[in-house]
Amino acid sequence: MCTVLIAVLISQTTLFVTGMNENVVLALNGTKNLKPNIVLVMTDSFDGRLTIDPGNKVVQLPYATYMREHGAVFLNAYTNSPICCPSRAAMWSGKFIHLTESWNNYKCLDENYTTWMDLLQRDGYYTKKLGKQDYISGGHSVSNRVEAWIRDSELLLRQEGRPVTNLTGNASTVRVMSKDWSTIDRATQWIRETAPGLTQPFSLYIGLNLPHPYQTEGLGENAGGSTFQTSPYWLKKVNGDLITVPKWLPLSKMHPVDYYSTYTKNCSGLFTEQEIKDIRGFYYAMCAEADAMLGKILLALQESGLESSTVLLFSSDHGELAMEHRQFYKMSMYEGSVHIPLLATGPGITPKVQQPQPVSLVDLYPTLLELAGIPLPGRVSGHSLLPLLSQAATPGGSLHPPWVLSEFHGCDVNASAYMLRTEQWKYIAYADGHSVAPQLFGKSYQSVVPQSECLLCILP
């Protein structure tokens, strides 16, 4: 019954959106003849709960805080698939991953797939992509595909390195993730030197690797990232007194999918309390470094005189469990894995808006097209977020459904997972909805630790 309900909801939300909300677009643009610039900063593995209360108290994120104070924050923003390539495929296409068959990190969108940025370019925008993109098929090792094929076998293989920490540099070492800082340097240079001279609006995409864990040396070139690495400079941004140690169920009492993932993620061994706190603290410090990169983009827009004409968005492909539920990485429907940041500032966006409406990455596609005044070309899964952002929006005027969908078919699990999330409830179904027990959770924002997902019942 519940599986049928999910299928019905999915089919009903994939629709044509006719026309755009002219009042909202005028509020954002100020005039029919002016289209806003668009800058999207997309991180990797950033837990969205850190950008809202009370999660934002554990680590200093001044630039996410700036966006929250001067714009809007979505309190319930979610990935459509808790893994890199499929989640980004959803963002670029505006469609749920089963519609584009973006099943895992190996199988995603075709290289010539038409994205929202392609449509902006056709409409006269100057477009530029910098940094990590990761939405095209074949970008990861073929093992990501093989791992998904063998999950129904009796084999139980450790597919990831044991999560560890690595302290590098000293108290003045700011640039730990050099690859990302290079991307930021190129982006800020372009904003300062090229963007002000353009005669057309621009759309700039900036993709970061942080705060994704680093690859662990010695595990081979195809290994995933299991090293949480930072410097003393960034650790000072973390409030160690607020780092919690999640409570774990005994292995024997875990949900069968959790047990499988705990084993394949190499987390079934013994961890000291200090090890767990270190992993979580290092992860928060990595988030602080990513936030500083966002700050460089904000500063460049301000100093170039472009802030008032630019809509800036900050988000992530998915979150990071950081040892919640005895796991690290993502690939789970628990909050740490699926809850992402989504903040927006710019012309017409009401300051200090805290929007509880559940939203997801597929909503960015219709939102950005509506910002640019471009009609949707066909069916999409997402809904424009502009009615939830603008001062001109009519209360209750959003067409967004009261739920979001996430699904996962990739590695490190032994059953496909589906999540329906409303403001009050989270329902997770596995595989066919019958052979593996589903789960139901209730809402709580009392803590960033997994106990906040109060388990109300496990359905038969």
- Give 249-273 pLDDT, tens digit per residue: 999 999 999 999 999 899 999 999 9
Report the pLDDT value the prediction gives residue 328, as an integer from 0 to 100.
Answer: 96
Residue type, 391: Q
84 is catalytic: yes
pLDDT bucket at 452, cuts 50 / 70 / 90:
very low
Mean pLDDT of 118-134: 96
Total-model pTM? 0.90
| H helix or E strand, kind and range, residue 455 | strand 454-457
Distance CA 135, CA 111 (A): 9
CB 122 within 8 A of CB 410: no
Among 212-216, 231-235, 390-394, 443-447, name the most confident range. Answer: 231-235
| CA nearest neighbour of 84 among 37, 35, 137, 126 | 137
Name the burial class of residue 172, with classes exposed (0-12), middle (13-18) and buried (19+) by CB atoms within 10 angstroms of its CB. Answer: exposed
Amino acid 6: pLDDT: 54
pLDDT on residue 431:
85
Residue 395 confidence (pLDDT): 52
Q: Out of 5-9, 52-56, 299-303, 368-372, which region has the weakest mean confidence (pLDDT)?
A: 5-9
Please choose, from the candidates 241, 50, 271, the residue with its C-alpha nearest in 3D space to the C-alpha of residue 165: 271
Percent of the chain at pLDDT > 70 equals 82
* Residue 448 confidence (pLDDT): 36
Q: What is the pLDDT of residues 30-43, one digit of tens each?
A: 444 489 999 999 99
DSSP 8-state assignment for residue 314: E
CA–CA dist 221, 343 (Å, integer): 34
Residue whose pair of structure tokens reads 């640039």 in the numeric block? 175
Per the CB < 8 A criterion, the answer to whether 405 and 418 are in contact is yes
To the nearest 10 degrees (0 to 180), the angle between helices 22-29 and 364-371 is: 70
CA dist 103 and 453 (Å) reads: 27
Q: Which residues contact 143 (CB under 8 A, 6 or more apart)?
A: 222, 411
**Non-local CB neighbours of 452 within 8 Å, separated by 6+ positions:** 335, 444, 445, 446
Burial of 424 (0-12, 13-18, 19+ CB in 10 A): exposed
In this structure, the number of other CB atoms found within 10 A of the CB of residue 377 comes to: 13
93 with 318: CB under 8 angstroms? Answer: no
| 414 three-state secondary structure | coil
151-203 tens-digit pLDDT: 666 666 667 889 999 999 999 999 999 999 999 999 999 999 999 999 999 99
**Which residue matches tokens 């959003």?**
398
Strands (E), 359-437: 359-360, 404-408, 417-421, 425-430
Residue 455 has pLDDT above 70, yes or no: no
Using the predicted structure, report yes or no on whether residue 59 has a pLDDT greater than 50: yes
Total residues found in the chain within this entry:
460
Residue 396 backbone zone (phi > 0: left; psi -120 to 50: alpha; other: beta): left
Q: Which of 159, 137, 138, 139 is nearest to 148 (CA)?
A: 159
pLDDT tens figures, 75-94: 999 999 999 899 999 999 99
Q: Which two tokens stand for residue 129?
A: 């992509």
Q: Has residue 390 got a pLDDT over 90?
A: no
Least confident stretch, 97-106, 233-242, 267-276, 308-317: 97-106
For the residues 267-296, what does the mean pLDDT come to?
98
Q: Specify the pLDDT at position 450.
A: 40
Does residue 212 register a pLDDT over 50?
yes
Average pLDDT, the chain: 87
**411's tokens:** 């590695």
pLDDT higher than 70, residue 12: no
Provide the angle, in degrees to the nearest 10, between the axes of the packed helices 84-93 and 364-371.
Answer: 40
- Number of helices followed by number of strands (H, E) in the chain: 13, 17
Please tell me which residue in 84, 85, 267, 287 is annotated as part of the active site: 84
Token pair 């967004």 is at which residue?
Answer: 400
Instruction: Return the percent helix, strand and coil in the chain, to nearest 5.
Output: 35, 20, 45
Q: What is the pLDDT of residues 228-243, one digit of tens each?
A: 999 999 999 999 999 9
Fill in the amino acid letter for 205: Y
Query: What pLDDT score was predicted for residue 316?
Result: 98
Q: Give yes or no for residue 296 having a pLDDT over 90.
A: yes
Q: What mean pLDDT is predicted for residues 58-69?
A: 97
Is 60 exceeded by the pLDDT of residue 13? no
Contacts (Cβ under 8 Å, ≥6 apart) of 407: 80, 81, 96, 97, 98, 416, 417, 418, 419
Determine the pLDDT at residue 434.
78
**pLDDT at residue 194 in the model:** 98
Residue 162 has what pLDDT?
92
